[in-house]
Amino acid sequence: MSGAANGRITSSAALIRTAVNPDCDLVAAIALEQESEPEIYRQIVGRKYEGEYGIRPSLVRRGAKFEINNHANDAMPLRKRIAEAFGYAGPEDVLVRDLDKEEPVSGHVHIGNLRRFRKTQKIVLNAYRRKADIPDLVIHPTLELPLLKAPDGQPLIRGSRYLNPDFMVLHRALGVYLIGDEKSFIVRDDTVVEPGKLDQVRRQIASGTLAMRHELQSIDRSAPIISDGLLIFASPYGLSASKMVQENLAGEIRQIENAIPQLQRVAVTLATLRAQGLHQLAAMAPHLNTQLRESCYGRCIMVQHCEQLPQNAAAALGSDVQKLLGGKTPGEIAALAATAGLLPRRETALLEGIKQAAHVLGIDIATYLQEVA
Amino acid sequence: MQAFAKGDDRVLVDSPPGAGKTYLVEQTCARAVDDQRWRVGVGTNTRNQRDDFALRFKRRFPHIPLQVALASKETPSPALTAESVPAINNFNYLHNGAGVVVSTVHRHFYGVDYIPRGASGLYDLMVADEAYQIQYRNGGLPLDALGRRRLMVGDPGQISPFTELDAEIFESARDHILWSLPLEVMQNGSAVHRLAINSSRRLPPDTVRIIQPALYPNLRFSAASTDAERRIAFVAGGGQADVVDRALDTIASGASIVAIQLPDVGFELGVDDEICDLAVEVAERIRLRRAYWPHERMQIDINTDLFYMDSHVNSVTKAQEKFGSRSITLRADTPNVIQGQETLISIIKHPLSSMQEADPFHLDPGRLCVMLSRHKLACVVLVRGDISQVLGNYEHDAGQRLLGREDLAWRGYSAHQQIWNSLLLSGRVFV
Amino acid sequence: MKGVVAAARLLAKARQSAVRVVGSYDIRHDPEETFAIVPMRVVGEEIIQAVGYGRLGAPPQVVVEHHALSRRTAFLIPFANALDEYLTRAVDLDFPRIYIANAPALELLTVMAARYENAGRNLNPNPALRPSHEVVRLGYLCRLIKDIYHMPGQQIVVVMTEAIRRHFVTGQIPPKDGHLGALTEWLAAVAGATGTQARADLRALHFPAAAMLSREDDEAVESILHKIKKSKSALTRQRLQADIEHLQAESVLAEWSMLQEAHAAFWGRDLDASVHPDITKQNTSWLKYRLEVVVARSRRAIAMSQRYEMHEYHAGLHKSALIAQDSMRFEHERVDGNAFRARISAVRKTPRGVQPKDHQIDLTVDHQPNIRLRLGHRVQIVGGELVGEVRMVKRTPVGYDATLSVLAGIDSAAIGGPHRWADQVPGKPFTQKYYDKIKSVLGMS
């Protein structure tokens, strides 16, 4: 289970979590409340979370070192990869600005982010207007996703309204920036060695790209709608960056877009519950819908809790079982089998499927249903 | 031919459905033999395609030496025998000199053993017909060895080749042998002279307007015919005034693609009896109302001028039984089998029919493309459930494709959505 | 198959014990000597910090490198030599069997292959960090292991979690099946047991079983490394180093023990034995050649095409062997529509001397809900020689009638049955000579 050292998740992580399971109010609520996940677990479940939580130190260290390496010497490794990917003469042909250095975020995080955001806006605007000396590479830009605001203008995700992609690269022909992410996970043979990380990175870039779309739209309603993003991982050899890959992420962007209304809905629900006198997320949790899925495992700290809930009993066996039972319990299926006379088509098909399966398992349907019901 | 004359040795012609690519291939072969005295090899993906090509070529160019290279123990089909198309089982019996040799790409592979020592091939020109259906492993280096000049002709929108085996090591190799021939040739940096046919002789203009932006965003083409030329008329009116009649009336008013939607049942049906019955009903209603094609002055015969297509073999079998029980002998099969062929009217079961969740297999754009591009006059789409809802609930799997690969599932999703919205907005979905 | 697995999962939950979904093992019983590999990585770096190896059933040999990020590889030499010796011995005696606990362990070997096999060519500027030739060879052997793993029906490399899941289904949600300990808990439980899920969850909670140290041990190692860096005393450093090595070894032993337990539980379920002499022989001779001659990794079209054809052939061979020996597997195929039962109701042989030959047989096919029988489809009697191509198929009140053109085995065709039928087994791959000819025509080496 990955989460920051303080247990909180960033706004892009919040978007991603909600995007992966848009039917679960609880995961959206955790993202919105920005409380420590292990602490929320403890409050809701009543005991300390015992499983593994948080990024391993080796990963944190590797990620930091990877970034330092890539940004060293005016981001020479990144510039090299950009030059290769975009067919420039060489890394010297790639102009870079590092907003980390220009506006280091320390002290008041919001003010720091705001300054970076303003600078990023200016760079994006100037690029779109084809001004001179536009950087090809901008490290740690900051963008805002306006949809992440509640109706009262406050940020939906408490204390966090900005997105901070790793970098953005100018598409010279279009005059717009593509969002990029650099991750120290190893890639071999076009496969990211750590499973589940590639989709996470794609969604992360998608969040940033969505924010960039909004920025461009605010400049010019007819600005191109970008869907491409840039990914850099590590090669199997040391900490060197592998080649930069450009991908179309329209599918992922749509997923992120769908997460936003869910966050907004849940924010309204939380506000309603607060109005009723419930202030702690733990107290609100029983009033929130949960949706257990196979994708929750390895992603969400609450999975152990959710799988015990009666409403998730069927889901706790997986999607294939849910499909086999067609939303019914084994007991209901057994009752159907015992029914004399014609059954509706759906129930007939369900029973037939189970009967076939039982036959393959070498057990007659009556015995099977008796055992499972 | 000009490209070859200029020195290009690889030419790719992208062709939308019904553009006459087979005609192009035939013409090119004939010109190559007549003008250049070349020996030309033609490779097809399937035996049926091989035989179809041979029969058509023989009829059009009876003066050009032609041979069909069969598998070693294969006997020629009755059609080939009836038309006296010469067939060989061994490349030892290739005729010398100019002429055309057609075979499957799989069989052509064995021809490499007959390349004379020191020669740079067996043919002066090697043609891959339906190139996008041919895997690179069959159509790449083997055919490169056979012909110093290469012509690939194909429809980029059709069903791509696929494998059921674990493809991990093949996908990550430098040469993607399981990719379609043109895609891999372009990807691996070979110099290819690329051409495109920009019109479809088969498809009505109304169909082109719907499918081109959704399924061929990179290949602009138009219809060679006019709307008036592809209008269907019915002698008899719609006496029953039900959804079938309303759909057919809409076709008669100029819509070439319409849909009839049955209510969702809340679960996925492997074989949908009602859809099969509806397909039969549509066919019979076309017969009952005496459909005809005014421009060609021809009566439409539902036994010979209709196709039924469904993605699932079991479902096709059921449909065949139902058609058969009403003595209707129209062609019913899966898009994989029917691709490459054409008819006047097609009836199709929408790939997402009765699905509760869309998945990459059913969203495959190639399958949808084949189903919506067989007809010259009209296509009736039968579907159970609200496609908008299924598409609306689609949850994209961001980790499924390898790094740097095209998002085929998303491309399919977008195409499905665009086409369905187009039908909805123009009032062509009948419930 | 999905429906069957789902039904089995429900049943397993009810019984609190894993349920088999096939009747026979798809791999042969172990040869006399097996070799297991249990590596531990530094998370994210995918560098080996420790590895246990040796014969399952005996304690492993364990080698460790306390500071894996130092990129020192000398500690791998004993492992490299042991693996090489085992494989060289095993290919001559019978066949090798390599056990690996789970997918992350296999992935780690794959990364090692990428790293070390090429290290001989891409020399590290620091000679102290250049892998020895044994380690370079280890990279090569790991690549061979990975290549074999992908061969359909292969009998040499067994990833334990995957092998278990191919044969048995637990009563827990599928993502939990990735943990070997949890999986084994279900496999070892007897039908009617209680608390299986709780025990499985507990095992998953306390040990990652993903070729890595537990979180606690990982953080302890980090902390000790930090102390080593700060320490000025050689003795202290030595002691601290020993602490790390102890933690690493303990993790290896824990995962080794888990693998042994899983192995015993897997074979203890006593499914029918599997017989794959052809595939085993082919796998072994493939490996033997490559142990003797270093074959470079080729990713080009001709090599990959040949490999694909071999895979296709093995997949067909393996599948047909499995359904021939295992009626449960046959039923899986039947339910999916890929196999059927039919009687031969007529045989029509083309008389001798008449050309062309077109022997035909008629089949009466039993009814089944799904069937993929269509014109041009090639089918074969399971375990038999008779192969036919469908020329006609039509539905009857009790099933289907079909006519096949016989492509092979007409002499074995006789009225009677029922026989089991499935897809035709693909033919042997193209011979080498065609590819050699292509290379020579195209001027390729």
Provide the chain A residues 125-184 that lie in CB contact (below 8 A) with chain B: none
Element (H, E) at C278: helix C277-292
ipTM, two decimals, is 0.90
CB pairs under 8 A between A and B: 66
Q: Sorting pLDDT into bands at 50, 70 and 90, what band is A157?
A: low
| Contact yes or no for A357 and C8 at CB 8 A | yes
Q: Nearest CA to CA, how far is A344 from chain B (Å)?
A: 10
Residues B73 and B27 in one domain: yes
Residues of C in contact with B337 (CB under 8 A): 374
Residues of B in contact with C143 (CB under 8 A): none
Residues of C in contact with A320 (CB under 8 A): 2-3, 5-6, 9, 174
Q: Which residues face B430 on adjacent strands?
A: B260
Nearest to B165 among C312, C394, C434 (CB): C312
Q: How many domains does chain A have?
A: 2
Residues A194 and A332 in one domain: no
- Domain holding A368, by residue range, is 318-372
Angle at alpha carbon of residue A19, lines to A13 and A20, rounded to 5°:
95
Residues of B in contact with C394 (CB under 8 A): 324
Q: Give the tens place of pLDDT for each residue, B255-298.
A: 999 999 999 988 888 889 999 999 999 999 999 999 999 999 99
A310 lies in a domain? Answer: no
- Domain positions in chain C are 2-297, 338-423
A200 lies in a domain? Answer: yes
Q: Is A275 exposed, middle or buried (0-12, 13-18, 19+ CB in 10 A)?
A: exposed
Q: Is C221 exposed, middle or buried (0-12, 13-18, 19+ CB in 10 A)?
A: buried
Do the strands C35-42 and C98-100 form a parallel or antiparallel pair, or are they unpaired?
A: parallel
Count the helices and strands in chain B (H runs, E runs). 18, 19
Residues of B in contact with C376 (CB under 8 A): 48
Residues B159 and B210 in one domain: no
Count the helices and strands in chain A (H runs, E runs). 14, 9
A72 lies in a domain? Answer: yes
For range B306-319, the mean pLDDT: 91
| Contact yes or no for B413 and A22 at CB 8 A | no
Which two structure tokens, joined as six digits, stand for A9? 């998740």
**Nearest residue in C to A194, CA atom:** C44
Evaluate the omega torsion of the peptide bond into residue C356 and state whether it is cis, within 30 degrees of 0. yes
Q: How far apart are CA C200 and CA C206, in angstroms?
A: 10
Q: Which residues face C362 on adjacent strands?
A: C346, C403
Q: Is B44 exposed, middle or buried (0-12, 13-18, 19+ CB in 10 A)?
A: buried
Lookup result for tokens 């049943």: C11
Closest of C37, C3, C25 to residue C266, by C-alpha? C25
Q: How many domains does chain B have?
A: 2
Q: Is C305 on the interface with B (CB under 8 A)?
A: yes
Closest of A201, A78, A216, A219 to residue A136, by C-alpha? A78
- Yes or no: say if A321 and C6 are a contact pair by the CB < 8 Å rule: yes
A341 lies in a domain? Answer: yes
Task: Provide CB contacts within 8 A for B125, sequence distance 6+.
Answer: B4, B28, B29, B32, B38, B39, B40, B41, B147, B149, B150, B151
| Contact yes or no for C335 and A307 at CB 8 A | no
DSSP C275: -
Provide the chain C residues 29-88 that lie in CB contact (below 8 A) with chain B: none
Per DSSP, the three-state class of B315 is helix
Neighbours, chain A (3 or more CB pairs < 8 A):
B, C
Residues A134 and A269 in one domain: yes
- Yes or no: say if A256 and A227 are a contact pair by the CB < 8 Å rule: no
Residues A198 and A339 in one domain: no
- Domain holding B184, by residue range, is 2-197
- Yes or no: say if C394 and C325 are a contact pair by the CB < 8 Å rule: no
Neighbours, chain B (3 or more CB pairs < 8 A):
A, C
Q: Nearest CA to CA, how far is B143 from chain A (Å)?
A: 27
Closest of B363, B353, B350, B417 to residue B384, by C-alpha? B353
Q: According to the model, what pLDDT value does residue B28 have?
A: 95
Which two structure tokens, joined as six digits, stand for B58? 């023989």
Q: Does pTM surpass 0.90?
A: yes
Within 13 A of B166's CA, how many CA atoms are on the CB side?
A: 16
Which two structure tokens, joined as six digits, stand for B168? 């991990």
Report the sign of the C-alpha dihedral through residues A120, A123, A126, A128, in that order: negative
E strands, B132-245, where? 150-154, 193-196, 199-200, 222-223, 233-234
Residues of B in contact with C378 (CB under 8 A): none
Residues of B in contact with A298 (CB under 8 A): none
Provide the chain A residues 329-348 that lie in CB contact (below 8 A) with chain C: 330
Which two structure tokens, joined as six digits, stand for B187? 């990807």
Q: Look at chain A and count its residues.
A: 373
A349 lies in a domain? Answer: yes
Q: How far apart are CA C387 and CA A191, in angstroms?
A: 40
Do the strands C378-381 and C416-423 form a parallel or antiparallel pair, or are they unpaired?
A: antiparallel
Question: Which conformational region is residue B366 in: left (phi greater than 0), alpha (psi within -120 to 50 degrees), or beta?
Answer: alpha
Q: Give the tens place of pLDDT for each residue, C76-117.
A: 999 999 999 999 999 999 999 999 999 999 999 999 998 898
DSSP B123: B
Residues of C in contact with A195 (CB under 8 A): 103
Q: According to the model, what pLDDT value does residue C398 have?
A: 85
Lookup result for tokens 């602009």: B220
Question: Which conformational region is residue C258 in: left (phi greater than 0), alpha (psi within -120 to 50 degrees), or beta?
Answer: alpha
Q: pLDDT averaged over chain A?
A: 89
CATH number at residue B18: 3.40.50.300
Q: According to the model, what pLDDT value does residue A160 have?
A: 58
Which two structure tokens, joined as six digits, stand for C124? 């590290």
CB pairs under 8 A between A and C: 119
Q: Is B359 on the interface with A (CB under 8 A)?
A: no
Q: According to the model, what pLDDT value does residue B353 have?
A: 96
Q: What is the DSSP string of C384-441?
A: SS-EEEEEEEEEETTEEEEEEEEEE-GGG--SEEEEEEEEPPPPPPPPHHHHHHHHHH
Report the sign of the C-alpha dihedral through residues A305, A307, A309, A312, in that order: positive
Q: Sorting pLDDT into bands at 50, 70 and 90, what band is C281?
A: very high
Residues B218 and B119 in one domain: no
Closest of C131, C153, C128, C129 to residue C142, by C-alpha? C131
Sheet holding B291-293, edge to edge: B233-234, B291-293, B298-299
Q: According to the model, what pLDDT value does residue C63 have?
A: 98
Q: Which residues face C363 on adjacent strands?
A: C344, C402
Mutate to test the interface with A, among B403, B407, B416, B417 (most CBs of A within 10 A): B403
Q: Nearest CA to CA, how far is B13 from chain A (Å)?
A: 26
E strands, A101-166, where? 137-139, 143-144, 162-163
Class of domain C338-423: mainly beta
Q: Give the tens place of pLDDT for each residue, B409-419.
A: 999 999 999 99
Residues of C in contact with B175 (CB under 8 A): 299-301, 304
Residues of C in contact with A368 (CB under 8 A): 7, 11
Q: Is B397 on the interface with A (CB under 8 A)?
A: yes
- Yes or no: say if B116 and B92 are a contact pair by the CB < 8 Å rule: no
Mutate to test the interface with C, among B110, B134, B137 (most CBs of C within 10 A): B137
Residues B360 and B320 in one domain: yes
Closest of C48, C30, C171 to residue C104, by C-alpha? C48
Rg from Cα positions in chain A: 25
Which two structure tokens, joined as six digits, stand for B19? 């553009």
CA distance to A31, B370, C337, C365, C368, per residue, from C344 (Å): 65, 37, 19, 9, 17
Residues A347 and A274 in one domain: no
Q: Residue B141: is its pLDDT beyond 60?
A: yes
Q: Give the tens place of pLDDT for each residue, A58-83.
A: 888 899 999 999 999 999 999 999 99
Q: How far apart are CA B326 and CA C173, in angstroms?
A: 48
Residues B160 and B243 in one domain: no
Q: Give the tens place of pLDDT for each residue, A249-305.
A: 999 999 999 998 898 899 889 989 999 999 888 899 999 999 999 999 988 889 989
Long-range Cβ contacts of C438-445 (<8 Å, 24+ apart): C438/B112, C438/B141, C438/B142, C438/B144, C438/B145, C438/C302, C439/C302, C441/B112, C441/B115, C441/B119, C441/B120, C441/B121, C441/B145, C442/B141, C442/B144, C442/B145, C444/C302
Element (H, E) at B320: helix B313-325
In degrees and rounded to multiples of 5, residue B188 shows phi and psi of: -90, 15
Q: Give the tens place of pLDDT for each residue, A313-358.
A: 889 989 999 989 988 888 889 998 888 788 888 888 889 889 999 9
Do the strands C387-396 and C399-408 form a parallel or antiparallel pair, or are they unpaired?
A: antiparallel
CA distance to A25, A96, A129, A131, A169, per residue, from A172 (Å): 42, 14, 11, 11, 9
- Yes or no: say if C16 and C264 are a contact pair by the CB < 8 Å rule: no
Provide the chain A residues 36-95 that lie in CB contact (below 8 A) with chain C: 50-52, 56-59, 62-63
Nearest to C4 among A316, A352, A361 (CB): A361
Q: Residue B64: is its pLDDT beyond 90?
A: yes
Residues A145 and A205 in one domain: yes
Count the helices and strands in chain C (H runs, E runs). 13, 13
- Yes or no: say if B150 and B144 are a contact pair by the CB < 8 Å rule: yes
| Contact yes or no for B171 and A199 at CB 8 A | no
Q: Residue A7: is its pLDDT beyond 80?
A: no
Q: Sorting pLDDT into bands at 50, 70 and 90, what band is C428?
A: confident
- Yes or no: say if C88 and C293 are a contact pair by the CB < 8 Å rule: no
Q: Is A248 on the interface with B (CB under 8 A)?
A: yes
Residues B93 and B38 in one domain: yes
Residues of C in contact with A360 (CB under 8 A): 4, 21, 328, 331-332, 335
**Nearest residue in B to A202, CA atom:** B398
Residues of B in contact with C296 (CB under 8 A): none
**Nearest residue in A to B264, CA atom:** A346
Q: According to the model, what pLDDT value does residue A3 have?
A: 60
Residues A238 and A356 in one domain: no
Q: pLDDT averaged over chain B?
A: 93
Amino acid (one-letter) located at A158:
R
Mutate to test the interface with B, among C305, C374, C400 (most CBs of B within 10 A): C305
Q: Is B402 on the interface with A (CB under 8 A)?
A: yes
- Yes or no: say if A257 and C142 are a contact pair by the CB < 8 Å rule: no
Residues A198 and A271 in one domain: yes
| Contact yes or no for A58 and C4 at CB 8 A | no
A294 lies in a domain? Answer: yes
In degrees and rounded to multiples of 5, residue A305 shows phi and psi of: -70, -50
Q: What is the DSSP string of C7-21?
A: HHHHHHHHHTS-EES
Provide the chain A residues 120-179 that lie in CB contact (below 8 A) with chain C: none
Nearest to B113 among C304, C373, C434 (CB): C434
Residues of A in contact with C174 (CB under 8 A): 294, 318, 320
Closest of C259, C227, C231, C230 to residue C244, by C-alpha? C227
Residues B180 and B315 in one domain: no
Q: Residue C345: is its pLDDT beyond 90?
A: yes
Angle at alpha carbon of residue C296, lines to C295 and C299, rounded to 5°:
125
Q: Look at chain C and count its residues.
A: 445
Percent of chain B with pLDDT over 90: 72
Q: How far apart are CA C21 and CA C333, in angstroms?
A: 12
Q: Is C299 on the interface with B (CB under 8 A)?
A: yes
Q: According to the model, what pLDDT value does residue B54 have?
A: 96
Q: Is C438 on the interface with B (CB under 8 A)?
A: yes
Q: How far apart are CA A276 and CA A269, in angstroms?
A: 11
| Contact yes or no for B403 and A350 at CB 8 A | no
Nearest to B145 among C299, C407, C442 (CB): C442
| Contact yes or no for C308 and B137 at CB 8 A | yes
Residues B166 and B301 in one domain: no
Residues of B in contact with C374 (CB under 8 A): 313, 316-317, 333, 337
Lookup result for tokens 């469904």: B310
Q: Look at chain B and count its residues.
A: 431
Q: Give the tens place of pLDDT for each residue, C229-276.
A: 999 999 999 999 999 999 999 999 999 999 999 999 999 998 998 877
Residues of C in contact with B178 (CB under 8 A): 308
Question: Which conformational region is residue B48 in: left (phi greater than 0), alpha (psi within -120 to 50 degrees), or beta?
Answer: alpha
Q: Sorting pLDDT into bands at 50, 70 and 90, what band is A151?
A: low
Mutate to test the interface with B, among C441, C442, C444 (most CBs of B within 10 A): C441
